[in-house]
Structures are given as structure tokens and as C-alpha cells.
Amino acid sequence: MTATAPREEQLWSRCAGCASLLYRKRLRRNLDVCPECGAHARLGAPERLRQLVDPGSLCPLPDRLPEADPLDFVDVLPYPHRLTGARASTGLAEAVVCATATIGGHPAALAVMDFRFLGGSLGCAVGELITRAAERALDDRTPLILITASGGARMQEGVLSLMQMATVSQAIAALREAGLLTVSILTDPTYGGVAASFATNTDLVLAESGARMGFAGPRVIRQITGRALPEGFQTADFLLRHGQVDMVVQRRSLRARLMALLAATRAGRPARPPVPRQEPASRHDRFAADDVAVTRPAGPVVCPAVADTPAVRDAWDTVRMARHPGRPTTLDYLDSVFDGFVELHGDRLGADCPAIVGGVARLAGRHVMVIGHQKGHTTAELVARNFGMASPAGHRKALRLMRLAARLGLPVVTLVDTPGADPGVSAEEQGQAAAIAENILTLTVLPTPVLAVITGEGGSGGALALAVADRVLMLENAVYSVISPEGCAAILWPDRSAAPQAARALRLTAPDLCRLGVVDEVVPEPSSAAHDDPAETAHRLRAALLANLLPLLDVPPAMLVRLRRQRFRRFGANRSGVQAGRR
Ligand SMILES: [Zn+2]
């Protein structure tokens, strides 16, 4: 709804659905649902909370975090200016409001996103606040309710905003383990990194009437596929038809529906804490989890390779290097770095995605599960592999192989090289967002060593779906980013020709990400680049894999999972130096 004129702003609104001019008070009484056509207008977080929780029960959680501009990001405006503007126009500290409250007498922790604040984008502060709300739910043993409204990850915080998908997902995983209900309510719109993490990896997913949710936005999909989109694409009813949400709920019924769900799950809640999860049988069983002290430096990880090698290449040149068609692919590395690869196919649900290859192999005589994106060198190979862009079937195949590895006590090595997940109509129909979200969550609890290597392009959620790992390595000329430089330029600059500037602003190179602690080690490439000397690249990658994997084999699985969670927990706003009051 937009105001008709500044002076009448408080009095009248025009419906975005049917263009009726509506008396503001009448509209508010109707919960901001148009009485003429039923269109649900977007709600700010404070109003949403007012509509849902019991009067007088709301107890806001702290919303002020240390200022964070981890990248010193500047597009046409410096990022801090955009933050200041958003705060002034919304009266909110950030794009989420968190609270505890009761709903029909049932206690819950809530995190409500507000689209008015920089498009509800997920940055470090938002991730930290939602994570704390989840931790509060765990402490209080209450359900967690997430109400999403977001365009996706916050580009101005680069790959650190991508890490928030893992941070919040592991907090949801902890609630799952504790037997506590998590509910997400999709409101319009919910896209990108939020859709591909906590909006869809909760126990229950409700969609408010008229809400749209998807991994890739409709404009991007239209641009890439050149096809018209099906009627009602990504709307709540579409999501219900495709099995992606539990129900579509009218706003006026939302509170009652939540009350019923909370009542049902409260009745069934175990009186005692659940039995700890069984670890897989392995040689690690002879250790108690706490017997082996494994320490990780608390501060930023220092990369020896970076310290020795000054960053000489411009970020945009590195992007082009990472995309070079001659660059070794996952299958090349499976041939040159590993021995005896046996490929395993299929998601067991109806498809086998060619953009993901996986299977068992040996690394210096040790058995491992290798999963990676496969591109190709020729146009025909690239087309056959969908340019390394995994479909939901690919992510589900990867999930199956990760779980299998954990059951068999095999370490997982992932090789990440993708422009991003498949931005297509059928990928959305088949639940792209939820497939990625489930992989991210599963990796945060996988009881076996996970070693990820960004070998070429690490593109957004599609890359993270294979990269929540104990150690993350990156080839010297690889890139890892929350969005492509071209995509970022199209949104934050006047046009896509600003891609080189966006590439620099995003801090997507290996030395930058090492400094930010996202990557643990840079694997140097031969003097020119990987594609000029694949054999030497393979030799170096093999040495780096062994050096990083062998120490992990001695860590008991429970300890591994704990350390992995600590690794991703530190990407919240805490990283700017001020410790949160908790844990
Ligand atoms: Zn209307």
C-alpha cells in the first residue's frame, strides 16, 4: 500500500492488489488485509508481533549490536549511510525484531523480519539476533517461531552474510536435537539466503496467504531462462501444490492456527531431555568426547599462505581466472588427486543431477567420500552438466552421500565450483530453497570430518550447501561470494558494467576471505594458474588435503561437531570484538 499524498498519509492507503483507496483505520482494523480484494499488505515487525502474541506478554530481546561494516563496503553509497537511513525510516535497530511472548498462553521465542529495513536482508547482526532468539528458546525449552520477509543475504556484508545461513541453521539443528518445535511463517517476500536456510529448514513451514517464496527471484529466472513464468509462480498456493509448505493461512487465522500447533506439540513434549544422538560406530568410540583437548584459536585465523604471498591480482581478474574453462574440474581432481573413485548416483526421489558428482575414493590409501560440483571444459560438457549449477536433486544426492559417509565413518571431502544453484522454474517447483537449507543444517551436525575446498567459483547458497565444514580451503585463484559481481552491480550500481568494482567491494578472493576467517588456508596455484599446470595444482591440492584431513581423523565425532559449530557461530556480529552476554 502506498500513501496517496504526504498530508493524507495517515488517513488513506491504496491497495497494491486492486488499487482501491482505503481508509487507513479501517484497513488496520482488518489486519492490513484489503476488505475489497483480500490482498495482504506487508506488515512491519512491531505490528506483526502485536497481531500475534497475547497482549502484555511481549518481552523484547536486546536488539542493539556493535556496529559492523566488516568489508568497508561502498557502492554508490557507503554501507553505514544505508544503515543510518534504514534506522531513521523504520525506527528499528535492524531488519529483525526478536522477543519472547505467549500465544494463547503458550510461551515461545519469536524472530520477526521487517522488509522495510534494507529489504529484510540477512547480515551478521540479523543472523546473530535470530541465533540468540533460538538459543533463548533452547534455554527456556520453548518453541521458536520465525516470521520471514527478506530479499536474501545482505550483499554489503559479502560472504559473511552467507555464513549466517549456517549460523542460524545450526541453532535450529540444536532445537531439533532437543525435541523443540521450530516453525517458520513465510510472508511476502521471502527469497535467497533466508529462503534457503531458516525459512525452510524448520519443522513446520506456514505461508501467509499471498506470500511468495523462492531461492531465485522471478526476474533472475526470467532473465536466465528467457521463458515466461507459470501463473502464480512461487506464490503460497504454488508452494502448497508443490509440497513445500504445510499450509497456507489467511492473516486473520494465523494466531489461532499457531495456538493450535503450539498446543498440540506442547502436549507431546517429552518430560525429560531426549537421549543423546548415537554416534556412528568408528574407532573414535574408544574416546570420550572430552578426553581429547582440541583447541582452535579464538581470534581470526591467520593463513600462512597469505602472509607469504602479497595479493597482486585484481579481484575481477581473479573472477575471470576462477571461471576459466581450462580450470581443472571435480572429475579432473578425482582422477589426479584421488584413487579408485567409484561414482554413486541418484537422489532416490526421482532424479540424478549431473552437476553434482559424488562417491567413494581413496586419498593416500584412506577411504573418503568425495562430493563436488562438476562443470566441464567444452560447451557440450558445460551444457550437459548444467554449468555446475545443481538442481534440488543434486543437493539431495549430496545429502544422501553425506549421511552415508557419516554412517560408514568416512570423512567427507567436498570440491566446490559452481556459479550458484540452478535458477530455473523446475528447480523452484522441486524445492530448491529447502534442499539447500537441509544440506546446510545437516552439515552442521554431521558426525564425521568434513573438509571443503573452493576450487573455482563458490557461488552463494549453492556453494555453501557443500561448504559448512571443519576446515575450508580455497585455491589461490578461486572466488567465494554471496552474489556474482554482475548480480551485485545490477542491484547496487547503475548497471552490470560495474561488475569489476563490485568484485573488489565484495572481498571474494582467497586472501580476503582468509583474513575474514571464512577460509582457513589458501592453496597456492602454480606461477601462472591452475589451468596452465593441472598436474602441479593437483599435487599441491593433494598435499593440502592430507595436511588438513589427517588431524581431523583423530578428533572424536562429537567434538568435531562442537568445534564446527563454534567455527560458524563466530561469524555473528560478535566477531567485531564485543562479546555477547551469552556463552
Ligand atoms: Zn484490494
Count Cβ atoms within 10 A of the Cβ of residue 583 and give its class: 0-12 exposed, 13-18 middle, 19 or more buried. Answer: exposed
Separation between Cα atoms, residue 8 and residue 11, nearest integer Å: 5
Mean pLDDT of 268-277: 50
Residue with cell string 517458520: 184
Sign of CA dihedral 321, 123, 414, 483: negative
Separation between Cα atoms, residue 173 and residue 443, nearest integer Å: 10
Residues 6+ apart with CB under 8 A from 7: none
Residues 6+ apart with CB under 8 A from 220: 423, 487
Residue type, 162: L
pLDDT for 65 equals 80
Pick from 372, 320, 376, 393: which is nearest to 545 by CA?
A: 372
Distance 14 CA to ligand 1 centre (A): 8
C-alpha 562, offset from chain centre: 19
Count Cβ atoms within 10 A of the Cβ of residue 344 and give its class: 0-12 exposed, 13-18 middle, 19 or more buried. Answer: middle
Distance 1 CA to ligand 1 centre (A): 9
Distance 210 CA to ligand 1 centre (A): 12
pLDDT in tens, 180-205: 999 999 999 999 999 999 999 999 99
Res. 70 pLDDT band, cuts 50 70 90: confident
Cell representation of residue 505: 567491494
pLDDT for 465 equals 98
Neighbours of 438 (CB within 10 A): 21
Separation between Cα atoms, residue 469 and residue 561, nearest integer Å: 10
Residue with cell string 534504514: 86
Taking every pair of Cα atoms in the chain, the longest distance, rounded to a whole number of angstroms, is 76
Least confident range of 205-209, 341-345, 368-372, 526-530: 526-530
Res. 528 pLDDT band, cuts 50 70 90: confident
Q: Which residues surround ligand 1, an ion (CB under 5 A)?
A: 15, 17-18, 20, 34, 36-37, 39
Residues listed for the chain? 583
DSSP 532: G
Pick from 20, 31, 424: which is nearest to 208 by CA?
A: 31
Residue type, 423: P
Distance 548 CA to ligand 1 centre (A): 59
Mean pLDDT of 440-445: 98
Distance 149 CA to ligand 1 centre (A): 21
Separation between Cα atoms, residue 199 and residue 432, nearest integer Å: 12
Separation between Cα atoms, residue 138 and residue 177, nearest integer Å: 10
Distance 35 CA to ligand 1 centre (A): 7
Cell representation of residue 260: 493450535
Distance 115 CA to ligand 1 centre (A): 20
pLDDT in tens, 251-264: 999 999 999 999 98
Residues 6+ apart with CB under 8 A from 411: 366, 368, 369, 405, 448, 449, 450, 451, 549, 552, 553
Separation between Cα atoms, residue 386 and residue 363, nearest integer Å: 28
3-state secondary structure of 146: strand
Residue with cell string 550458484: 420
3-state secondary structure of 430: coil
Distance 16 CA to ligand 1 centre (A): 6
pLDDT at 51 over 80: yes
pLDDT in tens, 3-45: 444 455 578 999 999 999 999 999 999 999 999 999 999 999 9
pLDDT at 305 over 70: no
Pick from 522, 519, 551, 523: which is nearest to 539 by CA?
A: 523
Distance 114 CA to ligand 1 centre (A): 22
Distance 24 CA to ligand 1 centre (A): 13
Residues 6+ apart with CB under 8 A from 197: 164, 165, 166, 168, 169, 436, 437, 440, 441, 461
Distance 6 CA to ligand 1 centre (A): 21
Distance 213 CA to ligand 1 centre (A): 21
DSSP letters, 364-409, are TTEEEEEEEE---SSHHHHHHTGGG---HHHHHHHHHHHHHHHHHT
DSSP letters, 296-354, are --SSPPP-HHHHHS---S-HHHHHHHHT-TTS--HHHHHHHT-EEEEE----SSS---T
- Average model confidence (pLDDT) across the chain: 90
User: Are residues 357 and 374 in contact, defined by beta-carbon separation less than 8 angstroms?
Assistant: yes
pLDDT for 527 equals 85
User: Are residues 27 and 1 in contact, defined by beta-carbon separation less than 8 angstroms?
Assistant: yes
pLDDT in tens, 96-120: 999 999 999 999 999 999 999 999 9
Separation between Cα atoms, residue 258 and residue 202, nearest integer Å: 14
- pTM, rounded to two decimals: 0.89
Separation between Cα atoms, residue 259 and residue 103, nearest integer Å: 6
pLDDT at 2 over 90: no
pLDDT in tens, 146-189: 999 999 999 999 999 999 999 999 999 999 999 999 999 999 99
Helix crossing, 432-445 with 557-569: angle to 10°?
120
CA atoms within 13 Å, Cβ hemisphere of 473: 25
pLDDT at 419 over 80: yes
Mean pLDDT of 379-408: 98
Mean pLDDT of 297-312: 46
pLDDT for 268 equals 56
pLDDT for 275 equals 47
Phi, psi of 217 (to 5 degrees): -75, 155
Distance 202 CA to ligand 1 centre (A): 32
